[in-house]
Amino acid sequence: ALEVPDFKNALKQFQKLVEKTVTQKTKERLGLYIEDDDEMIDYDKFYTTTQTLFGPEVKDHNVKAFFRKISNNLDTRTEWCEIFGYFIGESDALSSQLKEENMVFLVSEKQQITHAVVKRQDVIKGIVKVPHLDFTVTSSQKGVLTIFNNQVIQTQTNFFIILLGSIYGNQDTAWITGCDFLPRLKCVVAVTERTVIVWDYKSKGSQNNCFTIRPMENGLLCVCTVTMSDYLAKDNILMGDDKGYVHLLTVTSDHFGLKQCKGKKESQLQVLDSKTFNTVKRKLHDDWVVKVKYISDLNCFGSCSSDSIHSFVLDDIKRLEDNLPVKEFSVPRGVNAFTYCGKAKVIVTGG
């Protein structure tokens, strides 16, 4: 165990830990050999060492955000106070402006929704446009799912409150990491680090129609809908996790046809066992899968990672069910985002 005689010494040891982690990530992305496996620093080791240095005041979600930050951008500037949930801004005015931005959902350069989409200390994590129904779905980090129609909040639910009271015992595991819309079932899907959420927004008592599929094996980081099924009551959900796996989960109307018992409260979720669902997965990356997307024009799915070797994968969805080679591309420092332009027939990636 590490001995921490004082806070100043702890800061020095933490700085060495950060430098060592960045050096290791740099070598990994350059494909260099790391001699001693015992010296490998993964998230678990980073978190354990940080908590040993600073004690229980360090929260898991703050350390995870810090580790993700230095892993995704090796040149980024960091401050030690970030592991305690504090951030240094250039000025009070800028800090105030950023807080105001969190409460505003931008529609275009000339139009914005000024309703309080989320509360302070919360941020929008996902925005999905549903053109055929003329509305937009947003998800916030702390669990607020909102549907907009013509600049008006049509319906909204707070999964953070429900998850906190009904399933989990702490705030960290209830954070939402992404959302999308299920066109066949006409529901909203969202993912947290260990759970898939399906929300039937059409019901008047919306909280009576919230389903969670759990537990998921790894931490889910992104989600999208696969529009390839001809079956009217079935949707396929594509997800990426923090171990490099891409998952394909199939959901049908039969899964959500259960009725609640009369004794249940409105705020209680219906929990469904993930083992009862048809799920396939395949490890395609050696680092976090930061984005997945199904490109219907190409009949392919894409996934990207900060992994320098297996940075971007583009192939048929059937490759998740077998071990055949996939079409992949290597990019130094990996790929953090990508999109497809049907008109130009090109895929654009960003590192």
pLDDT of amino acid 168 = 39
* CB 29, CB 333: distance < 8 Å: yes
Per-residue pLDDT at 60: 84
State the chain's mean pLDDT as an integer: 77
Token pair belonging to 154: 């049509």
Q: Mean of the pLDDT values across residues 332-340?
A: 91
| Higher-scoring residue by pLDDT: 48, 170 | 48
pLDDT tens sequence across 2-48: 444 577 888 888 999 999 888 888 888 777 766 665 578 888 889 89
**pLDDT above 60 for 93:** no
**φ and ψ at residue 67, rounded to 5 degrees:** -65, -40
Q: What is the mean pLDDT of residues 91-100?
A: 43
pLDDT per residue as tens digits for the range 208-262: 578 888 888 888 999 999 977 666 778 999 999 989 999 999 998 887 764 444 4
d(CA 252, CA 274) in angstroms, rounded, equals 13
Nearest-angstrom CA–CA distance, 192 and 175: 5
- DSSP states of 13-53 as a string? HHHHHHHHHHHHHHHHHHTPPPS-GGG---HHHHHHHHHHH
Q: Which of 45-54, 250-259, 305-314 has the lowest mean pLDDT?
A: 250-259
How do strand 210-214 and strand 270-273 relate by DSSP bridges?
Answer: parallel
Radius of gyration of the chain (CA): 21
d(C-alpha 261, C-alpha 256), whole Å? 14
Q: How many CB atoms lie within 10 A of CB 293?
A: 22
Q: Quick one: how many helices (H) and strands (E) in the chain?
A: 5, 21
pLDDT attached to residue 204: 60
pLDDT of residue 33: 62
Q: Where in the chain is the domain with CATH 2.130.10.10?
A: 115-283
Least confident of 58-62, 112-116, 186-190: 112-116
CB-CB contact of 208 with 195 (8 Å):
no
Cα–Cα nearest to 349, from 316, 304, 307, 315: 304
- 94 exposed, middle or buried (CB, 10 Å; 0-12, 13-18, 19+)? exposed
Question: Does the bond joining 215 to the residue before it have cis omega, within 30 degrees of 0?
Answer: yes
What's the topology of domain 115-283?
A: Methylamine Dehydrogenase; Chain H (2.130.10)
